[in-house]
Amino acid sequence: MQNSAATRMQLSTPRACGCLELRDIFGSHFDLSMPQRPTSSLAACVWIPLFPLRCEEARREGLASHPTALLAPDLSRKLWQVSPLARHTGVRPGMTVSQAIGLCPTLRLCEPDPVHYDERFARLLAALNEISPVIESGELGLAYVGTDGLEGIFGPPEKVVKAIECVVRGTWCVRIGLGRGKFAAWVAASRAKPGEAIIVPPQGEKKFLAAQPIAVLPLDPDTHRRLRQLGIRTLGALAALPEEAVTAQFGAPGRQLWRLAAGHTVEPVIGRNAPEPIVAALTFFTPVGERDLLERALDQLIARALKHPRRIGWRVQAVRLRAEIEGGRSWLADILFKDPTADAARIAAPLRTRLEQAPPPGAVERLVLELTAFAPGTAELQLFARDAVAAARAGQRRALESAAREIQQRIKRSCLYHVIEVQPWSRLPERRYALIDFEP
Amino acid sequence: MVAPSRAPLRADRLRALNVPQSVAVECDVEDRPQTVGDVTVATVLESWRIDDEWWRQSITRCYHEVILDGGRRVVLFEDVATGEWFAQMP
């Protein structure tokens, strides 16, 4: 769990943003020459382990006092999350239902409701947003709060932690860690007892990290095994090795691990922009179970969402497909596009695959498509980008102009040219085309 | 070809493209290129002649599109007025 959370934390680190002037999805101006998203090097990690299971316990009275397990949100019918009481009886995630019942006959099984978990997590993030504008979400139940400057509002770090606790603790039993950079904060949260907080003092990160086991690093099993075989049990032991030696043994990932262990890597919390999603929904007269019908409905929803006026000039970066299933259950598929797109077929493809490989576990009463994140398709005002192709073309042109400007600034003279037609009809080849300085 | 920018077009900013380069050419008895510099002509693909701009300064050229040893394709022409040979990209 620790490993997976730490890995997710690294993966969720956003890329640097460009330096352009754009309009945002709501049409208001913003200047990307300033960082597009707010950041904070001081981080508080708020962690609620087994968040989906806790959501079930919160809405079903008495469930917490029984050994409980949550089924995986796919068709495998294997266990996804297991409560500590169930774990004591030997039940583990990944087991089949029959194996688990064999070990613990009183085990209570819950069907997953990912939409509910997502909504609860969104509410948690919104609550944290009242403390700080810089919130970064990790996996379900893991969030980072940027705390730079909060001492002016709340006072010393202890008071900041108290304020966070006040916001979330009424509902959840959280673990909080506070330190410089997300990694130190995450490690502190993972070492804190339930309902407690660990604050890593400024400049004390190295000392704090040195005593932690290597399992807190985002390691693959092979690297973990090799480190243990080398007798390295703590981050301090790893950091005590020369950086070059670790790099030589484990390559670039090893260097990253060494830098994390030595406290040299300080990943800031990067706040999110949460534009209002574009939503298209379809309610079926009778619940639908056939995949063909669902796919047809999906195509309709995508077409409808892409036609939305706010989408024009923007490419879609993330979509979410939700299904409300008869019997009060739900199904959820989140897709993040590496290459943002405005092409209906490209948006539909991964969702179709998801419908095929992990279909809703029952007949669907309502299907909802949300376009949740967007990337600019153009640097021009979005009004001028009439369709996705024009938007993409304008985006390419802008990228070219930006690169040309940078080259010109670096070498102080023009060395890029357009080829232009001068007398394309001429019988003398040298008169047909000419070069002209490229001035972006 | 890259589309022109919105910058105004000025003749002094133009750079010629595919400017003829002076080369030494030896011809056979039929006046067909045999060697270009030190390289032998493998094949003459096509030959043609142009007479242009006779109303101001006449341009008369005999063109030969050739393939050199090694496979490089070149367009050669002889300026009939001066007898000089030039090479151009096809």
pLDDT tens, residue by residue, B11-56: 556 788 888 999 999 988 888 899 998 899 998 988 999 888 888 8
CB-based contacts of A124, cutoff 8 Å, min separation 6: A46, A48, A143, A168, A171, A172
Q: Which of B5, B16, B50 has its CB closest to that of A438?
A: B5
Q: How confident is the model at residue A10 (pLDDT cuts 50, 70, 90)?
A: very low
Measured distance CA(A346)–CA(A97) in Å, rounded: 37
Considering only CB atoms, B14 lies closest to which of A428, A429, A436, namely A436
Q: Which residue has the tokens 């919390």?
A: A269
Q: What is the DSSP string of chain B?
A: -PPP-SSPP-GGGEEESS--EE--EEE-TTS-EEEETTEEEEEEEEEEEEEE-TTSS-EEEEEEEEEETTS-EEEEEEETTT--EEEE--
Give chain A's radius of gyration (CA, Å): 26
Average pLDDT, integer, range A342-355: 90
Using the structure block, give the residue that is written with the tokens 């959840």.
A172
Q: How far apart are CA A377 and CA A361, in angstroms?
A: 36
ipTM value for the complex? 0.80
CB contact B20 to A (< 8 Å)? yes
Within an 8 Å CB–CB cutoff, is residue B75 touching chain A? yes
pLDDT digits (tens, 9 = 90+) for A251-310: 888 888 899 988 888 889 988 765 678 889 998 888 888 888 899 999 999 998 988 877
What residues of chain A lie within 8 A of the CB of B52, using their CB? Answer: 427-428
**pTM for the whole structure:** 0.53
Class of domain A278-376: alpha beta
Does the CB of B19 have a partner CB in chain A at under 8 Å? yes
Smallest Cα distance from B3 to chain A, Å = 7
Beta-strand relationship, A68-71 and A108-110: parallel
For chain A, what are the domain ranges? Answer: 2-49+116-270, 278-376, 382-437
User: In this predicted model, what pLDDT tens digit does every residue of A355-400 receive, in sequence order?
Assistant: 888 888 889 999 999 998 877 654 433 444 445 555 556 666 777 7
**CATH topology classification for A2-49+116-270:** Alpha-Beta Plaits (3.30.70)
Sequential DSSP letters for A376-405: ES-SS-GGG--SHHHHHHHHHHHHHHHHHH
Query: What DSSP state is assigned to residue A269?
Result: E
Q: What is the Cα–Cα distance from A190 to A433, expressed in whole angstroms?
A: 66
C-alpha A6/C-alpha A400 separation (Å) is 37
Interface contact flag, A419 B17, Cβ < 8 Å = yes
Chain centroid to Cα B63, Å, comes to: 7
